[in-house]
Structure 1
Amino acid sequence: MPWSLLKYGLSKRYPARRDIPLDKDLKKSYDVVIIGGGGHGAATAYHLARYHGITNIAVLEKGYLGGGNTARNTTVIRSNYITPDSVRFYKESVDLFTRLSNELGYNMMFSQRGQLTLAHSDASLRTFRLRAEVNKHCGVRSEMVDREQIRELVPCLNMDENARYPILGGLWHKDGGTARHDAVVWGYARRAAELGVEIHQRTEVTGIQRANGRATGVETNRGTIQCGNVVQAVAGMSAVVARMAG
């Protein structure tokens, strides 16, 4: 065992402060209950607490933070879509990630290395040209690149014209990048917890109570809680939770 590790373990500073406090008992009621402890759920909790002053929030996660859809995320952050509304929306996301580590005080491992999408057919080339023009119109840095430019960007690619799927060209998105998906969840969750949000892991939602067309409570494996609003952030399980709400 390294001496530095042993020294730290015996010091008064051990154990270190937990990023996420241990689960408390569920309160009887909350202003907002967020179902799902992934990237969207944790981000929603943080933004409600930070920018809207709502801190009486419970985030309910049936497993562990970021263990569902977020754990299977491709980690790609881009804004080179084809419709203007999507381009503008995701441009805000890309811009957010450039400052998110500083805002949350947590390393998102964001790397703005660019994204290259390859075209293997004339149809793809036509679509990419359209995307490039839409992107430019919306202030996003995307451009068509030819085979030689692709060779310079990614020298290891097989540029053989006789390949099964030959590379004809590509769409180069300079501002595209990646971020560590679990770091995104933990960064948002830690900061939300510091602002007063409760994070409850191993807390499965089993039903939603309703009255007069509104959700009024959430049933869990740890008891029932009342709430003013329910937020669904469960990705692929959305249909299951939606059925609970009727």
Structure 2
Amino acid sequence: MKKRPVVKKGQTGDSGAWRASPGRSRGTPRPRYSALRLVSKGFTQGDWAKVWRQHDVEPRYDVVIIGGGLHGLATAYYLAAYHGVRKIAVLDKGYLGGGGSGRNTAIVRSNYLTPEGVRFYDRSLKLYENLAGELNFNVMFSQRGHLTLAHNDGGLRTMRWRAEVNKTQGVDSEVIDPDEIKKLVPSMDTSDRTRYPILGALYHPPGGIIRHDAVVWGYARAAAGLGVHLHQDTEVTGIDVHHGRVTGVRTTRGNISTATVVNCTAGWSTLISEMAGVEMPVTTSPLQAAVTEPVKPFLDTVVVSGSLHVYVSQTDRGELVFGASVDPFTSYSVRGSLEFVEGLASNVLKLMPGLSKMRLLRQWSGLCDMTPDYSPIIGPTPVGGFFVDVGWGTYGFKAGPVAGEAMAECIVSDRSPEIIADFGLDRFRSGRLVGEKGAAAVGH
């Protein structure tokens, strides 16, 4: 990886609202507002400087990134901050973070099943741990621990298998018994009288939750401060390819000439790739989630049950966030369903009967791109200059930082870094699949 450029004293971003501190090496601007000014503006509702400003779509960019979510913004940031590429456009047909980045349940972990997956997601977790300092933005990362429950002997064997794989990669994971689970989650029914008795769990202390919109805003602000153009409400209608190489992108706001295009979309990843003549072995399915009324904090860890297809965590505001596996059909619909709520409530109460009186406030849905081996597709494609960062299924948010870091290096060096080499598109032709279904039965 190339040395990170130093932002000189006085260098400002496009909005003019930020400046770099002397000696800061990562290019992330710091705010000019003093504490007194912040308090004053809070009381007076004064005018705030824009974090990033609108730009006209220019006729040429060095790199065009399609998708203004976490992966697209992270790629733009690392290209600008680590590799000095500044002529970058991020295009989104809606608003920044309006897709999967704003619809997920923001769980972060690295206790996967394959050595390739564990190394990859652990690097992302390490980046998340330092992200607030990196971006000078509070991303509200709470490493409260992650529990994956086992309800039968087969599940317990899988947890022990995952624990050993994790340990060989230096990841903190261990199998704990019901008594230890009860200490971590007193509200859990760990008795042997339930329909789905809990035999043990894979405990992953570094796992936790993070504020997804804060992560998006942090990357967007930092990228814009380094000169990246963020174009919202800009839909891509075509990708020009001549003699096997990308030459440009067509949008609803004009045509762009470029030699490098990155597909960082979810839900529409196959449609974008087809514009460049690249087929993707991806299917798209909805994933639903729901949230309750806020209550006094009582759940300190993230709890996942693959057998019951449910997971639950509690936010810093006291709400319980629930989710399940993807809907059992392919669709681009993001409507919620009563069937999901009924099944979710039934399964949650099997784990925590004491939640029966809580009221469900709202539910939502997002789109998940699923690959045959439940692992992403990231890296170059047969079309020169066309890169993909797609197929993340239900765990793309966990991978945002490392995917952006690796994709930036891939674009600059024109080869896949070792950390993503196993996730290339060519694995589906060679049969070198990276099977992660055993660690993603419920997606979290």
Question: Above 0.5 in TM-score?
Answer: yes
Please give the alpha-carbon distance, in whole angstroms, between the structure 2 residues aligned to 1:157 and 1:176: 19
Structure 1 equivalent of residue 51 of structure 2: 19
Using a 3 Å threshold, how does the CA distance of structure 1 residues 224 and 15 change in structure 2: closer, same or farther? same
2:44 counterpart of 1:8: yes
2:230 counterpart of 1:199: yes
Q: CA deviation at 1:7?
A: 5.6
Matches for 1:169-180 after TM superposition, within 5 Å: 169-180=200-211
Please give the alpha-carbon distance, in whole angstroms, between the structure 2 residues aligned to 1:159 and 1:26: 58
2:76 counterpart of 1:45: yes
User: What is the SS of the residue equivalent to 1:228?
Assistant: coil
User: What is the SS of the residue equivalent to 2:257?
Assistant: strand
Q: Is the Cα–Cα contact under 8 Å of residues 176 and 202 in structure 2 kept in the other structure?
A: yes
Q: CA deviation at 1:6?
A: 8.5
> Which structure would you say has the larger RCO, counting Cα contacts within 8 Å and 6 or more residues apart?
1
Please give the alpha-carbon distance, in whole angstroms, between the structure 2 residues aligned to 1:78 and 1:6: 35
Please give the alpha-carbon distance, in whole angstroms, between the structure 2 residues aligned to 1:216 and 1:233: 18
Please give the alpha-carbon distance, in whole angstroms, between the structure 1 residues aligned to 2:98 and 2:230: 14
Q: State the number of aligned residues.
A: 239
User: What is the SS of the residue equivalent to 1:55?
Assistant: coil
Q: CA deviation at 1:236?
A: 2.0
Please give the alpha-carbon distance, in whole angstroms, between the structure 1 residues aligned to 2:273 and 2:128: 30
User: What is the SS of the residue equivalent to 2:120?
Assistant: helix
2:92 counterpart of 1:61: yes
Please give the alpha-carbon distance, in whole angstroms, between the structure 1 residues aligned to 2:83 and 2:69: 20
RMSD: 1.5
Alignment counterpart, residue 138 of structure 2, candidates 107, 112, 122: 107
Using a 3 Å threshold, how does the CA distance of structure 1 residues 138 and 50 change in structure 2: closer, same or farther? same
Structure 1 equivalent of residue 418 of structure 2: none
Q: CA deviation at 1:20?
A: 2.1
Structure 2: segments with no counterpart, 5+ residues: 1-39, 278-444
Q: CA deviation at 1:230?
A: 0.1
Q: TM-score, normalised by structure 2?
A: 0.53
Instruction: Show CA shifts across 1:111-150 (max 9, x none).
Output: 1111011111111100000111111111000000000000
Instruction: Show CA shifts across 1:174-210 (max 9, x none).
Output: 1111111111111001100000000000111111111
Structure 2 equivalent of residue 158 of structure 1: 189
Q: CA deviation at 1:77?
A: 1.0
Q: CA deviation at 1:162?
A: 2.3
Structure 1 equivalent of residue 221 of structure 2: 190
User: What is the SS of the residue equivalent to 1:175?
Assistant: coil
Could you tell me which amino acid in structure 2 is paired with residue 165 of structure 1? Y
2:133 counterpart of 1:97: no
Please give the alpha-carbon distance, in whole angstroms, between the structure 2 residues aligned to 1:123 and 1:15: 59
Structure 2 equivalent of residue 87 of structure 1: 118
Alignment counterpart, residue 62 of structure 2, candidates 4, 9, 31: 31
Alignment counterpart, residue 143 of structure 1, candidates 174, 189, 192: 174
Could you tell me which amino acid in structure 1 is paired with residue 237 of structure 2? T
Structure 1: segments with no counterpart, 5+ residues: none
Q: Which runs of 4+ in 1 moved over 3 A?
A: 4-7
Using a 3 Å threshold, how does the CA distance of structure 1 residues 7 and 182 change in structure 2: closer, same or farther? closer
Q: CA deviation at 1:8?
A: 2.3
Q: CA deviation at 1:154?
A: 0.4
Q: Is the Cα–Cα contact under 8 Å of residues 41 and 47 in structure 2 kept in the other structure?
A: no
Please give the alpha-carbon distance, in whole angstroms, between the structure 1 residues aligned to 2:270 and 2:127: 29
Alignment counterpart, residue 248 of structure 2, candidates 212, 217, 223: 217
Q: Is the Cα–Cα contact under 8 Å of residues 58 and 256 in structure 2 kept in the other structure?
A: yes
Structure 1 equivalent of residue 158 of structure 2: 127
Could you tell me which amino acid in structure 2 is paired with residue 15 of structure 1? D
Using a 3 Å threshold, how does the CA distance of structure 1 residues 6 and 37 change in structure 2: closer, same or farther? closer
Using a 3 Å threshold, how does the CA distance of structure 1 residues 31 and 5 change in structure 2: closer, same or farther? closer
Which structure's residues are more often helix, by fraction? Answer: 1
Q: CA deviation at 1:235?
A: 1.7
User: What is the SS of the residue equivalent to 1:29?
Assistant: coil
User: What is the SS of the residue equivalent to 2:95?
Assistant: coil
